[in-house]
A and B are shown apart, each in its own frame.
Chain A
Amino acid sequence: MAKCTFSDPFEKARKEVGIGEMDDQNDPVKMVLGHKDVRRCAHNHKTFQSGAEPGRIVVPSEVNIRDIRQIPFEVDPPQHGSYRAVVEDWFKRPLEEEYTAQLEKQIGVLIDEALTKDSVEVINEFSLVLQSRALTLLFNVPFSESETWISWGTHVFRSEETALDAGKAQVLYDYIDKKLEESKQNPGDDFYSKLLAAEVDGKKLTDEEIKGVVVLTFSGGRDTVINAVTNSLAYFAENPASLERIKNEPEILNFAIEELVRYFSPLTHMGRVATEDTQVCEHAIQADTRISLNWASANRDATVFEKANEVVIDRKINPHVAFGFGTHNCLGATHARQILKVLIKTLIKKVDSIEILEADENIETLGEFKRKVGFNSIQMKFN
């Protein structure tokens, strides 16, 4: 099978049962699999809440390693809307010309470097670096901060040894405390200063709330962006004709980005906690138990997508839910889309071909399901 083939492990369960079950630290999850059911449950925030105990809607659950509520992610409407309004415009900055120009510069440098090497381990030497450097633009902080972030590795809460690493989370919290203090002493145009000055419903945000927003910004776009970038490179390595097509028909670039995001669905699913006894596809869901909205499964639903298991690089109607659906849709989506746009344009400009030399797949286990989300490591040669 080609390295860039990502099969859909949920197809049978989605068609026959509608849900899939998995355990997670003795707090089981019923994964909702169909496109319509996922959207229906995402919409129904009263029955399926995000504002549960901090960390519980994440799978694997982070309740044992963090107390800070991530904001606006772990808050339900109507309060969610007030928080979201504070950060919404900041997260649209990736559309500004200067932001894009900086991103073009960063990615150009990375590709130039890659072209000089015989082999690049893309996860650590390319995607992690790209993600960290690009994040300095989103935070509007000096480029040099990215060196610290790169040293943290691909996941801010996970380490090589253990999936959930409290010690590692503490490194991030200590770092954020320090940066907040610096911005308090010396306010500037950075994200921390913006949050320190912000008001929600006439009140300043507390330090705890600010940390909640910042932790979300660090963790939400880490492995997701790294996987999106790496998997897209693997796709273009094996499908050079698609890159050639985008070069000749630049008007399909946007379709290509949305299709790659649909196909790879970098975030498999996101949980919710039931506030009452209810049901999904005739399966009973008890109050205070978890469901998850399985974006990856929904994005391969053949009742919605023709040729759902293929990358159709110019797919024009593409109602994917890779960035979530409804109120809580991904705040960082504009940044992520801009990264992919600049990456593809830079590949077209500078790279003739990419070879995959060696790859070690990253397979997630979700109960009986095994899903490839990306690579633990992948060596490529850029020509």
Chain B
Amino acid sequence: MAKITFVTQANETITVEGNSGNVMELAVQNKIKGIDGNCGGVCSCATCHVHVEPEHWNKTGAPSAMESDMLEFDEKVSDHSRLSCQMKVTEELDGVVLKVAN
């Protein structure tokens, strides 16, 4: 079981728990504002964009080449951007804090 914390644009902090699927799905299930996952997780729509807290970057790891490509031209990209549909919910993510980009 991994505890994942989302911080929304309105500065709401919500911590949820999960053990399967990807982070976007977990966020959508928990109605996290700003994570829509319109394309259902195929790395197309960028509506699941999050900024990983820099000190937690080692928990999530860097994006794949394809994911990084899609993020490159996103309005809100940062050095610690990820598309949460491409992050599997695993033990390694336990305690991670993700700021919702939109």
Contacts and interface: CB of A to CB of B under 8 A. Distances in A.
B54 interface: no
B41 to A, nearest CB: 7
B42 A315 contact: yes
A258 B66 contact: no
Chain A contact residues, majority secondary structure: helix
Given A320-B44, A323-B45, A334 B38 contact: yes
Nearest to A81: B75
A42 B72 CA distance: 12
Interface string A312-347: 000111111101011101000110010000000000
A40 interface: yes
Contacts of B61: none
A255 B39 CA distance: 9
Contacts of B39: 258, 318
Contacts of A92: 36
Nearest to B42: A318
Nearest to A326: B73
B69 interface: yes
Interface residues of A, number: 26
Contact of B43 (A36, A317, A325, A333): A317
Interface in B34-67: 36, 38-45, 66
A317 B42 contact: yes
Contacts of B42: 254-255, 258, 315-320
A304 B72 CA distance: 15
Contacts of A39: 69-70, 72-73
B38 A337 contact: yes
A281 to B, nearest CB: 16
Contacts of B36: 92
A43 interface: yes
A36 B75 contact: no
Contacts of A323: 44-45
Nearest to B40: A254
Contacts of B44: 258, 318-321, 323
B40 A258 contact: yes
Interface string A297-323: 000000010000000000111111101
Nearest to A39: B73
Contacts of A42: 73
Contact of A319 (B38, B40, B43, B75): B43
Given A36-B69, A42-B73, A333-B38, A318 B45 contact: no
Interface string A29-57: 00000001001101100000000000000
A43 B74 CA distance: 7
Contacts of B45: 323, 329, 333
Interface in A92-114: 92
A335 to B, nearest CB: 11
Contacts of A257: 40
B66 A317 contact: yes
Interface string B72-86: 111100000000000
A241 B65 CA distance: 33
A360 B37 CA distance: 37
Given A255-B42, A258-B42, A319 B70 contact: yes
Contacts of B38: 333-334, 337
B36 to A, nearest CB: 8
B69 A319 contact: yes
Contacts of A334: 38
Contacts of A40: 73
Nearest to A318: B42
A254 B70 contact: no
Nearest to A324: B45
Contacts of A304: 66, 69
Contact of A325 (B41, B66, B73): B73
Interface in B1-56: 36, 38-45
A277 to B, nearest CB: 22
A87 B36 CA distance: 15
22 contacts: A36-B69, A39-B69, A39-B72, A42-B73, A92-B36, A254-B42, A257-B40, A315-B42, A318-B39, A318-B42, A318-B43, A318-B44, A319-B42, A319-B43, A319-B44, A319-B70, A320-B44, A325-B73, A326-B73, A326-B74, A333-B45, A334-B38
The 10 closest A-B pairs by CB, nearest first: A254-B40, A43-B73, A318-B42, A319-B43, A39-B73, A258-B42, A319-B44, A319-B70, A320-B44, A317-B43
Given A254-B40, A318-B43, A326-B73, 16 more contacts: A36-B69, A39-B72, A43-B75, A92-B36, A315-B42, A316-B42, A317-B42, A317-B43, A318-B44, A320-B42, A320-B44, A326-B74, A327-B75, A333-B38, A333-B45, A337-B38
